[in-house]
Structure 1
Amino acid sequence: MTRPYLPLNALRAFEASARHLSFTRAADELNVTQAAVSHQVKLLEERLAVGLFKRLPRGLMITAEGEALLPVMRDAFDRMANMLERLEGGRVRDVLNVGAVGTFAVGWLLPRLPRFQSAHPLVEVRLSTHNNRVDMAIEGLDYAIRFGDGAWHGLEAQRLFDAPLSALCTPRLAESLLTPADLVRHTLLRSYRENEWTHWFAAAGVSRPPARANGVTFDSSLAMMEAAVQGARVALAPPRMFARQLSSGDVVQPFEIHAALGSYWITRLKSRTPTDAMDAFEAWLLDEIRLVYGSDA
C-alpha cells in the first residue's frame, strides 16, 4: 500500500500550532498568515483522515490523535535541525554535551579546553555546570564530570584524579594561624557534604574540633572561595582547583594537611554508545591529566 504524501509545510504548521494551541501564534512563528497555517493543518487532517484539533472560540484543543503525533513531529524536527546545525562547509560537525562540576569546569577544564578545540575543530563542546547533582538522561549529556567515589547507578565512571581538601584563606587571616587548632576561633565555611571539616581536623590531629563548621553552607566551592576572599573566613576546598588564586596570592594554604574524601570522575550512561567525539574528548582529557600530574593523579 502506498503511503500518503505528507507535505513538510503541513507537518510544520501542525507542530507549531500544537505547541502554541493557536493558529495565530503559530503563524507568527512561521512568518506566514493565520489562514495559511489553518489551511495547511486542514490539508494534513484530510490526508490522514483524522481530526488533529478541535477548533474552539478562543484557541485550539488538541485531540488524542494530535497528542500521539506531536512528540513524533517534535523529535523529527529536532533531529533535522541538529543535523543541519552540524553541517559546516560540506563537513559534519559533532556536538558534544558535557556537564561538569562548576569548580572543575572553571578551575581546571576551561583553561585547557582550547587545546582540545584546536586538535578537534569539528567537535563543538557544549559545556554546562552543575553542583554534582545531575540527571544525564534528562539533560541530554554525553558526559558528566563530578566529584565522589565513582559509584553512581547506571553510569560508567572513569577516575580522573584525586582532589583532597585543605584549608584555604586570605594571607591576612593566615597570619593568625600558628597551628591547625587556631582555626577553631574562625568562621569555617562548608559545603553541603557533611563532616568534611571533621575529617580535616582528624587528619590534623586536633583532638577537640568544633562540633560543626559554623559558616554558610555552599553548593559550590567557587562561591565558598569567593566568600573566603571577601571576608575573614576559611574555606575547605581542593587546592588543585584554585591554583590561579594560590599563584596570585589572593588565597594561601596555611597548613599542608589534606582530607581525601573523593576524586573527580568522568561519567556516561551505560546505555550510551560512545561516539567518535566522545572517545576523542575522553582520550584527550586523560592525556591532559597524565601530562599535568603524571602517575600522581
Structure 2
Amino acid sequence: MFTFLNKNKKFKPTTLEQKNIPDYLYVKCESCSSLIYHEDLNNSNYICPKCDFYFRLNAMQRIDFTIDRNTFREFNRSMRSKNILKFPKYSEKLSHVAKNTNLKEAVVTGYGEIKGKKCVIAVMDSYFFMGSMGAVVGEKITQAVERSIKAKLPLIIFSTSGGARMQEGMYSLMQMAKVSSALKRHHDLGLLYISVLTHPTTGGVTASFAMLGDIILAEPGALIGFAGPRVIKQTTGHELPEGFQSAEFLQNHGFVDSVVPRIKMKEMLYDILDIHER
C-alpha cells in the first residue's frame, strides 16, 4: 500500500542467522530495537507491533493516509531553495537530499478531500533536511494559507521539523513572522485551521504556525517543543518532569487539544471539518 520510508537507509538484520536476506525485508525499531518484517510494519500503519513506536512517515505517505484517493492536487511543486548566503556545500546538500527524497523542498502543499470534505493541506517531510524551515518552506506554507483564504477552505498543516534552517540564517527566521501573519488574516475571516503535530515538531516551527491552530492535534509520543530537553536541562540545571515535551504531556498541560492515534486521524479530521461546515 505504501512504499518504505527512507529507502536510502538500509536496515540490515544483525541478530538473525539467515544469509542472503533481501534489503528492506526487516526494519529495526528505533525504540525497542526489535526486527520487524517490512510487510508487518506496512500492515500496522508504520507503528511498531511490539512497542507501539510511531515510525516517521514521509510527506506522500502522510497524504496517502489522510487524503481521499485521486483527490490530491499539488501546487507549487517546482519551488526550491537557493543558496542565497553562499553557505558552504549547501547547494550540494540540497541536490543530494532532493534526489534521495524525490522532493524539491521539505513541505508538500495542495488541495484535497477528506471523506469528501474539501480542504487545503500542507505536509512537512522530516526526511528533507529534517523538515527544517527555510525561505521556500515558509513561502509554500504562506501560499497554502492564502489559497485557503481565496477558496474559503479549511486549512490543515502536518508539522514535523527540527526548526529553522541554519544555512539560510535570517531568511529562515523571517518565515516565522510571515506565516503567522498570513494565519492571522486567515483567522480574522473565520476560517478553520487544524494543526497536526507529528514527531518531532521543534524550534521555529513550534514557535510559530504549529501552535497557532484553532484546533491542535498530535500523534502519540511525538516530541513537541522549542529547545530540546537536553538543552533545557543543561541551561536550567533542573531535572525535567517525566515525559516532558511529549504529546501526552502537552495535552495534560493544555497545549494540545487531543492526542489522536494514526489509524483514527483521518476520521478525527473529517469530524472536525464536518462540524465546522455545519
- TM range, smaller chain: under 0.3
Higher helix share: 1
Q: Give the TM-score normalised by the residue count of structure 1.
A: 0.22
Relative to its length, the structure with more strand (as a share) is 1
- Structure with max Cα Rg: 1
Higher relative contact order (CA 8 A, sep 6+): 1
